[in-house]
Chain A
Amino acid sequence: MRDYILKRILMFIPTVLLMSVIVFFIIQLPPGDYITSYVSRMSAEGEVFTSEDIARLREQYGLDKPWYIQYFKWMKNIITEGDFGYSFAYNRPVWTVIMSRLPLTVTVTLIIMIFTYLVSLPIGLYSALHQYSVGDFIFTGIGFLGLATPNFLLAIILMFASFKLTGDPLIGLFSEEILREGLKLSNLGSFLKHLIIPIVVIGTSNTCGVIRTIRAQMLDEITRQYVLTARAKGVSENTIIYKYCLRAALNPVVSGLAGSLSSLFSGSTISAIVMNMAILGPVLYEALKTQDMYLAGTILLTQGILVVIGTLLSDIVLAWLDPRIRYAERSS
């Protein structure tokens, strides 16, 4: 086990490096660069740019050099100084920008994830155990509906519905009060109210996948020989279900957790844009659109690192959950 982990950590570095190169390359792939989008936006507001102004801007940001030189400079700064560069759009260090949004991103995504699993695990279990019952149909039906509806449309419909019914469209995570005064215990209620639509929109589309997976896996497991044996031996039904079947059924769910970790970092982008949530997803999207190289690169790199860590973690948990893998590793 220890060797396995060690080996994986060693592989970490070349993987991450390769990732960073490819990511950086793709970011600057669309034609133009940050300066072109910046100049056109400002010109549209009446600002005047001569070609000297533009050339000077390019030089200032180092965008007049080819991409691999920009990449090299960026990497060098990261490794030697831990400096992730500056965001052109925010005119601030990249890390500051990310850090200012990170707590909220993690909080919101965690809440939604917890909600997702809290809701879908019991439902999946129930569906598996009471297959074809009315309850099964109802719950899986609701789960499917959540998946079937495109999030961005659902979001705007809910916001409008909220406006029509209550006069407050619940845009964003913070009401004006909270924006002005900061999150306090007194206005926590408002924050929770604003979380309703994101949870419904994002949560429901994730629950379906988990429900289906758990249900399918459990159904597979329950009909296995060892379950019959266990029952014959007199082991309690609950023990069978929770200790044995569920553990095996969690196999694919755990594999999927690796992906969840990176989505934790950026949050669901499109829904976040429509609902005006101040998390990293929209920041990343804007950065990609305007080719704010270092900001986008850093966020993606961090995401990538989290994916790698997540994979490692889920592989470890998988080994722990499924003793067959552990023994396999030992014997091979």
Chain B
Amino acid sequence: MKSRVIALLMIAVMLVGMLTGCAGTAGTGSQTQPTKAPEPTKASQPTEAVKATPTTIPDSKTGSTSKFTEAPDLKALVDAGKLPSVEKRLPDPGDIMVEYMDSVGKYGEAFTFTYSGKNAQWFYGKITEEPLFRFKTDGTIEPNVAKGFDVNEDATVYTVYLRKGMKWSDGMPFTADDVLFFYYEMCIPETFGKSLWDCFKVKDAQGNESIAEFEKVDDYTFKVKFQAPKPTFLEELAINGKWCFAPAHWYKQILPKFIGEEEANKKAKEMGYSDAVAMGKETGYYYWNVPGRPTLRPWIVFENSPNNDCDGDYFVMERNPYYWKVDEKGQQLPYIDELRFIKVSDPQQTLLKILDGTVDVAAVAYADYDVLVENMERGGYEFVEWASVSWADLVSQLHLNQTVKDEKKRALFQNPDFRQALSIAVDREEYAEIISDGFAQGRQAAPAKGAMGYTEEWANKWTEYNPEKAKQLLESCGLVMGADGYYDFADGTDFVLNIQTFTDANADDSAELLMKYFGEVGIKTTYKPVDRSVLDNMTTSNDHEAVLAPVTPATTFSIILRPDTVVPVRNYAPWYGAVGNWVASNGKEGVEPTGDLKKLCELYDQLRAAVNAKEKEKIALEMLKLHEKNIWVIGYMEALPTLIVKDKKIKNFPENSIFCDEFRDFGIAHFQCLYYE
């Protein structure tokens, strides 16, 4: 039952994910119409972001726009004269964003989480994020900070409308100036240490790359112009760029360009950073950590708050009084007063804090399922499962480097028969039972059920347990059984399969089992977990061989929008190794692909050049078919859903969703809509 809902979600995500790419160019899209949102799903309805029609807040009683209400502590401040009234803090009534949710909530209480310090900055970053456009659970994007947009016929000019009267968390107005400032004064000069994101770049038919041009139309409207069609600009922005604005008034006081190097360095030291460059990075990119830096997020870190040290033992984010969203009854969001983070140094401590009921929302492991169930009553929590988009469970993904340096091994790895041998040498039933404690089934590495490209054949390809056949296949690859019971190369040299992974991957059990199975069919295997950074180094320099549970496993949220893990785009996933360099450097570095791998790269070029949703879908399916044929990535077990525990009393938490980076992990739950009953 549950899996069917998830499957439907998947289908929706995959299909619609590409349809948005054709906004304005085919079918219904036209000059002035924004993207038509499909049938709303349970989680949230789209805002009526139409060009000139004001947004109305429905009021069942009077039928007119209702009054706005705010949280009691904010009301107290207003009464004491310390804060402007709620009407003054919210944007113009016509432009306020309304969040629709299952049940309208009430103010109060706090969420408590555990975290590991500033290392976890993305954890609390993602759940409070407010991008220009955000993803819905069906995979389409909707306006968020932006009110709506228009796009011209060939997707070269986007007009984005902002919300009148919207303010930063310090009360200053949020205008198109802030967007342009971010782009021209921060992105392009790279003041926060990141090179300009791909979403702002476009390649024309000749392969020349150019960057976007931002133009202000008025205080609340701006245009983004490209030299070549970029139909998926907004989706890419939602994935890579996320937010596209910064408080210009605040930055003008600290950036070297405006106050000079010396002043900037002095300011940096005051704030506790080593120099202006570090300050630029921390305040520009990881800005939600900086106390006092204005944001648009529902909870922020105030300058004069006692617990605002993001690396402290106790970290608190408090309600943003200028938050620009309300619920359908006109109550200013968020409901929850503050987010509290308790520092822990060991995952077992998080588990204990879940058991004793302190922690409100956390992702847990199936391995701890039994003890969590035992204490459900006492801890007052319940389980929620969100689907994963991984092709196979992380610890069961084996990436054979198709460009491994050793010539003989390279020929072997590139031979599909060898991969088949490795695949059928493993008893998946036993493997899955042990590794997942019976929660997951054995499977091949393939897209999740309901996702694009999924076929039952693919999911079951090469999954039978047949060590005899494996041996025959190995011999057909030219391997010869040696005296020690292990296969050697035809010329007599030893063949050793070296499996690598990183130490935090928890892949030791998986590796042990695989080593046993591989040993039984005559493949000598070694296993070495190394520090994650070491593994990254190895991958970068193409020194890796067979990576188990890689940092970048094969997953496809949308192969069109984010193909890095299954298509060679740059040096990223271990299985395509140096082909990634080859593509990224346009053939100057890396290893040139051959055969089907080359075809995959060619198809990807075609995909990027395609302007039509249907065309994109066709090419994408072809690419996936290549994967099905070759099984470049071997997987042994299906990806388990993400198991979440949440306090029973929390309302509006989505029962079904997908846990992925595009949805900002927990972010898709829209924490500003959650409340305690």
Direct A–B contact present (CB less than 8 angstroms): yes
* Pairwise interchain contact B349-A276, C-beta atoms closer than 8 A: yes
Chain A window 174-217, contacts with chain B (Cβ cutoff 8 Å), 1 for yes, 0 for no: 10100110100000000000000000000000000000000000
Assuming the A-B contacts A53-B193, A180-B314, A276-B346, are A163 and B119 also in contact, with contact meaning beta carbons closer than 8 angstroms in the complex? no
Q: Which of A43, A48, A278, A289 contacts B343 (CB 8 A)?
A: A278
- In the complex, the chain B residue whose C-beta lies closest to that of A46 is B661
Q: Which residues of A contact B502 (CB under 8 A)?
A: 40
Given contacts A53-B195, A163-B355, contact A179 B342 (CB under 8 A): yes
B272 within 8 A of A: yes
Q: Is A229 an interface residue (CB 8 A)?
A: no
Report the separation of the CA atoms of residues A30 and B530 in the bound assembly, to the nearest whole angstrom: 11
Contact with A along B335-347 (1 / 0, CB 8 A): 0000010111110
A101 nearest CB neighbor, chain B only:
B313
Question: Which residue in B112, B118, B536 is a CB contact (below 8 Å) of A39?
Answer: B536
Residue contact B536 to A169, C-beta cutoff 8 Å: no
Q: How many residues of A contact B (CB 8 A)?
A: 52
Name B564's closest neighbour in chain A (CB-CB).
Answer: A48
Given contacts A39-B536, A278-B343, are A44 and B551 in contact (CB under 8 A)? yes
Q: How far is the CA of A206 from the CA of B551 in the complex (A)?
A: 41
Which residue of A has the minimal Cβ distance to B344?
A276
Contact status B274-A86, CB under 8 Å = yes
- Are B535 and A40 closer than 8 Å at their CB atoms? yes
B239 to chain A, nearest CB (A): 9
Chain A contacts for B340, CB-based, 8 A: 176
Q: What's the least CB distance linking B558 to chain A, in Å?
A: 15
A60 adjacent to B278 (CB under 8 Å):
yes
Across the interface, which residues of A come within 8 angstroms of B311, CB to CB?
A: 89-90, 92
Indicate whether B353 reaches chain A with its CB closer than 8 angstroms: yes
A171 within 8 A of B: yes
Q: Is B348 an interface residue (CB 8 A)?
A: yes
With A56-B193, A174-B313: A168-B356 Cβ-Cβ less than 8 Å = yes
User: A14 an interface residue at 8 Å Cβ cutoff?
Assistant: no
CB distance from B570 to the nearest CB of A (A): 8
Q: List the B residue with the shortest CB-CB distance to A160.
A: B352
Interface flag for A297 (CB, 8 Å): no
A59-95: which residues lie under 8 A (CB-CB) from chain B? 60, 86, 89-93
B contact residues around A89 at 8 Å (CB): 118-119, 311
Contact A42 B122 (CB under 8 A): yes
A36 B537 Cβ-Cβ under 8 A: yes
Min CB gap A247→B, angstroms: 42
Q: Assess whether A179 is in contact with B532, with CB atoms less than 8 Å apart.
A: no
| Distance between A154 CB and nearest chain B CB, rounded to angstroms | 14
Q: Are A40 and B352 in contact (CB under 8 A)?
A: no
Residues on A with C-beta less than 8 A from B513 are: none
B383 within 8 A of A: no
Given contacts A92-B272, A168-B356, contact A53 B551 (CB under 8 A): no
**Complex CA–CA separation, A40 to B502 (angstroms):** 10
Q: Which residues of B contact A50 (CB under 8 A)?
A: 194-195, 570
Complex CA gap A47/B311 in Å reads 20
The CA-CA distance from A174 to B342 in the complex, in Å, is: 10
How far is it, in angstroms, between the C-alpha of A46 and the C-alpha of B273 when the chains are bound? 25
Q: Scoring A residues 142 to 173 as 1 if CB is less than 8 Å from chain B, else 0, what string do you get?
A: 00000000000000100110010001110110
Contacts of B316 in A (CB 8 A): 180
Q: In the complex, are the beta carbons of A41 and B535 less than 8 A apart? A: no
Can you name the residue of chain B whose Cβ is closest to the Cβ of A32? B533
Residues B346 and A47 in contact, CB atoms below 8 Å apart? no
Contacts of B73 in A (CB 8 A): none
A267 within 8 A of B: no
Contacts of A274 in B (CB 8 A): 345-346, 348
Render B535-579 as a binary contact track against A, CB cut-off 8 A, 1 for contact: 111001000000000011000000000000000001100000000
User: Is residue B45 contacting chain A, with contact meaning CB distance below 8 A?
Assistant: no
Question: Any chain A CB within 8 A of the CB of B656?
Answer: no
The answer on a CB contact under 8 Å between A167 and B356 is: yes
B residues less than 8 Å from A33 (CB atoms): 533
Max chain B CB contacts within 10 Å: which of A30, A50, A91, A182? A91
Contact residues of B between 112 and 163, Cβ < 8 Å to A = 112, 118-119, 122-123, 126
If A53-B193, A163-B352 touch, whether A91 touches B536 (CB-CB below 8 Å) is: no
State whether A167 touches B532 (Cβ < 8 A).
no
If A56-B193, A91-B273, A273-B345 touch, whether A32 touches B356 (CB-CB below 8 Å) is: no
State whether B195 touches A36 (Cβ < 8 A): no
Q: Chain A residues with Cβ under 8 A from B118's Cβ? A: 89-91
Q: Is B610 interfacial (CB 8 A cutoff)?
A: no
Range for the number of chain B residues in contact with chain A: 35 or more
Chain B neighbourhood of A86, CB < 8 A? 274, 278
In the bound assembly, the distance between CA atoms of A168 and B356 in angstroms comes to: 7
- Rounded to whole angstroms, the CA-CA distance of A51 and B581 in the bound complex is 11
List the B side residues contacting A92 at CB < 8 Å. 272-273, 311
- By a CB distance below 8 angstroms, the chain A residues around B570 are 50
The answer on a CB contact under 8 Å between A36 and B122 is no
Partner pick for A36 among B307, B352, B378, B534, CB 8 A cutoff:
B534
Find chain B residues with CB under 8 A from A168 CB: 356
Answer whether residue B33 sits at the interface, using C-beta atoms and an 8 A cutoff.
no
Contacts of B533 in A (CB 8 A): 31-33, 36-40
Q: Does A96 contact B (CB under 8 A)?
A: yes
Q: Considering the complex, give the chain A residue whose CB is closest to the CB of B274.
A: A86
Cβ distance B285 to chain A, nearest Cβ, rounded Å: 9
Cα distance A282–B532 in the bound complex, in angstroms:
20
Contact B536 A40 (CB under 8 A): yes
**Is A57 in contact with chain B by the CB < 8 A criterion?**
yes
| A37-B531, A37-B532, A93-B272 known; A48+B344 contact, CB < 8 A | no
By the criterion CB–CB under 8 Å, are B348 and A156 in contact?
Answer: yes
Q: How far is the CA of A167 from the CA of B353 in the complex (A)?
A: 10
Interface 0/1 of B275-308, CB less than 8 Å to A: 0011001100000000000000000000000110
Selected from A48, A57, A91, A171, the residue in CB contact (under 8 A) with B193 is A57
Contacts of B122 in A (CB 8 A): 42, 45-47
Neighbouring B residues of A43 by C-beta, 8 Å: 536, 551-552
A3 close to B (CB within 8 Å): no
Known contacts: A39-B536, A276-B345. The answer to whether A169 contacts B353 by CB under 8 A is: yes
B240 at the interface (CB under 8 A from A): yes
Name B351-401 residues within 8 Å CB distance of A. 352-353, 355-356, 358, 378
B619 to chain A, nearest CB (A): 24
Contact B378 A91 (CB under 8 A): no
Report the minimum CB–CB distance from B350 to chain A (whole Å).
10
- Mark interface residues in B303-340 (1 if CB within 8 Å of A CB, else 0): 00011000101101000000000000000000000001
Q: Which residue of A lies closest to B281 (CB)?
A: A60
CA distance A95 to B51 in the complex (A): 55
Residues of A within 8 A of B126 (CB): 45
A-B contact pairs, 25 of them (CB 8 A): A39-B536, A41-B119, A43-B551, A44-B551, A46-B122, A50-B194, A51-B540, A57-B193, A60-B278, A89-B118, A89-B311, A90-B118, A91-B118, A93-B272, A93-B274, A169-B349, A171-B349, A179-B307, A180-B314, A272-B345, A273-B346, A274-B346, A276-B345, A276-B349, A278-B343
Q: A86-B274, A92-B272, A172-B313 are in contact. List 7 more A-B contacts (CB 8 A).
A: A36-B536, A50-B194, A53-B193, A91-B278, A93-B274, A176-B340, A180-B306
Q: Which residues of A contact B (CB under 8 A)?
A: 30-33, 36-48, 50-53, 56-57, 60, 86, 89-93, 96, 156, 159-160, 163, 167-169, 171-172, 174, 176, 179-180, 182, 272-274, 276, 278, 282, 289
